[in-house]
Chains A and B, each alone.
Chain A
Amino acid sequence: GENVEQHPSTLSVQEGDSAVIKCTYSDSASNYFPWYKQELGKGPQLIIDIRSNVGEKKDQRIAVTLNKTAKHFSLHITETQPEDSAVYFCAASSPFYNTDKLIFGTGTRLQVFP
């Protein structure tokens, strides 16, 4: 089945710097890739997603890039702020196994220091 790897597991940056989190997936048929942010004591919140027919998507300070050939996708956060501190999860869904089933990466704990 699908397997999603995520790196790094922890990331510390200074406020204003950029942060990049990378994920790789194993199933070339996967076609939907969401990113979730989970703050302490809360459920995961969708922050951005991308579909396989698009190479890049941007929403203000957040962007996601997808390389289908290499089977990896990345989250880019620019001008980081302390409120960006959270755990970020990538995920992938494969129409081959189940269009609605998400396979999650292991998570990245991002700390933004003022």
Chain B
Amino acid sequence: SAVISQKPSRDICQRGTSLTIQCQVDSQVTMMFWYRQQPGQSLTLIATANQGSEATYESGFVIDKFPISRPNLTFSTLTVSNMSPEDSSIYLCSVLPGGETQYFGPGTRLLVL
């Protein structure tokens, strides 16, 4: 398994601003993922972030809006840029330490006013 932490745990932001979310894992992992969970909804994959390569974005998500960094095997950041109220969601990172099982962080709860 893996222990994952996210910062901040929650935030309230003004529209037009940007927020960077950090994800830290307690062991080295090749694959990390970023998900969005809109209020009362399921999880939607934003992008896959592998160390040493550009993030791979899913349909409907673009790098200009959700830039991702992956500087090493234990850390990643997701930035939500030029925010609007529609960006209010829970943002989750997950890791794949090996095999098929993904482990999730506690999430960052974002409210955009």
B 56-88 contacts with A by CB, 8 A: none
Any chain A CB within 8 A of the CB of B42? Answer: yes
Q: Which residues of B contact A104 (CB under 8 A)?
A: 42-44
Asked if residues B103 and A46 are in contact (CB atoms below 8 Å), the reply is yes
Are B104 and A45 closer than 8 Å at their CB atoms? yes
Instruction: Give the size of the chain B interface in residues (CB under 8 angstroms).
Output: 19
Interface of A, helix, strand, loop or mixed by DSSP: strand
Do A46 and B101 contact each other (CB < 8 Å), given the known contacts A100-B31, A100-B96?
yes
Cβ–Cβ < 8 Å partners of A43 in chain B: 4, 92, 104-107
Residues of A with C-beta under 8 A to B48:
100-101
What sequence of 0s and 1s flags, for each residue 46-67 of chain A, a beta carbon within 8 Å of any chain B beta carbon?
A: 1001010000000000000000
Number of A residues with CB within 8 Å of any CB on chain B: 21
Across the interface, which residues of B come within 8 angstroms of A106, CB to CB?
41-42
Identify B104's interface contact among A44, A99, A107, CB under 8 A. Answer: A44
Residues in B neighbouring A73, C-beta threshold 8 A:
none
B31 in contact with A44 (CB, 8 Å): no
> Chain B residues near A45 (CB, 8 Å)?
104
How many angstroms from the CA of A43 to the CA of B102 in the assembled complex?
12
Tell me the A residues contacting B by CB distance below 8 Å: 32, 34, 36, 41-46, 49, 51, 89, 93, 99-102, 104-107
Add 13 more A-B contacts to A44-B104, A46-B101, A46-B103 (CB < 8 A): A34-B101, A43-B105, A44-B92, A49-B100, A93-B100, A99-B100, A100-B31, A100-B48, A101-B45, A101-B48, A102-B45, A104-B42, A106-B42
